[in-house]
Amino acid sequence: MTAEVEPRTLLVHLIREKLSSTGTHIGCDTSSCGACTLLIDGKSAKSCTILAVQVNGKEITTVEGLLTADGLHPIQEGFKENHALHCGFCTPGMMMRAVELLGKNPNPSEDEIRWGISGNLCRCTGYNNIVKAIKYASAKMRGAELPSTEPEFV
């Protein structure tokens, strides 16, 4: 895709406003919340603190790019099946971060998942089910047996 931008234009604004891909969200102005997380050449990055010109010639993947010809990406399926989203606002950034995490560590422990997504804030879910969703996606991507998606009660 080609677009002309001012030198000061942030990547997230290029994507949301010029390219009209509004799946990537803005939740803060200090790179703290991670709602704007996307992949630059496969590495997760917070697009609210990157200038659009810095990614000239690079491959950007946003949430809109997760869907495959076969349907939902395993991380999308994991989030839906495990109730890992409420309002949906942090979800795209959270999933993009998880995609990179699983790329580097295909079978992460709960602790590794929690630290791995600690740059992304969710105010609704309390994270339990996000951890579950990432474990589910991990199993699916490895071809392992899928964990139960039923809620567990004491």
Partner 1 sequence: MGHSIKRKEDDRFIQGKGNYVDDIKLDGMLHMDIVRSPYAYAKIKSIDASKALEIPGVVAVVTGKDLEQYNLHWMPTLMSDTQMVLPTDTVMYQSQEVAAVIATDRYIARDGKEAVKVEYEPMKPLMNPHKAMDADAPVLRTDKEGKKDNHIWHWEVGDKAKTDKVFNEAEVTVEETMHIPRIHVASIETCGCVADYKKVNNHLTMYMTTQAPHAVRTVLALVAGHVGLTEEKIRVISPDIGGGFGGKVPVYPGYVIAIAVSFLTGVPIKWVEDRSENLQADSFARDYHIKAEIAATKEGKIQATRFKVLADHGYTDASANPSKFPTGMFSIGTGSYDYDTAYMEADAVYTNKPPGGVAYRCSFRVTEAVHAIETVVDTLALKIGKDPAQLRFENFIKKDQFPWKSPTGWEYDSGDYKAGLEMAMKAIDYDGLRKEQVEKRKKGELMGIGISTFTEIVGAGPSKDFDILGIKMFDSAEIRVHPTGKAIARFGTKSQGQGHETTYAQIIAEELGIPAENIQVEEGDTDTAPYGLGTYASRSTPTAGAAAAMAARKLKDKAKKIAAYLLEVSEDDLEWEPGKFSVKGAPEKSKTIQEIVFAAYTDHPQGMEAGFEATHYYDPPNLTFPSGAYICVADIDPDTFEIKVRRFVAIDDCGNIINPMIVQGQVHGGLTQGIAPAMYEELLYDDDGNILNGTLMDYLVPTAVESPSWETGHTITPSPHHPIGAKGVGESPTVGAPPAIANAICDALKPYGITHLDIPITPFKIFKTLQEKGLLDTDLKM
Binding residues for partner 1, rule CB under 8 A, total 63
Whole-angstrom distance, CA of residue 79 vs CA of residue 34? 17
CB of 10 to partner 1, least distance (A): 9
Whole-angstrom distance, CA of residue 137 vs CA of residue 25? 22
CB of 68 to partner 1, least distance (A): 12
60 belongs to the binding site for partner 1 (CB under 8 A): no
145 CB-near residues (< 8 Å, 6+ apart): 139
Do the beta carbons of residue 46 and residue 24 sit within 8 Å? no
61 belongs to the binding site for partner 1 (CB under 8 A): no
Return the residues of window 28-57 that contact partner 1 according to CB under 8 A: 28-30, 32-33, 35
Give the torsion through C-alpha atoms of 153, 118, 12, 3, to 10 deg. -100
74 belongs to the binding site for partner 1 (CB under 8 A): no
CB of 45 to partner 1, least distance (A): 17
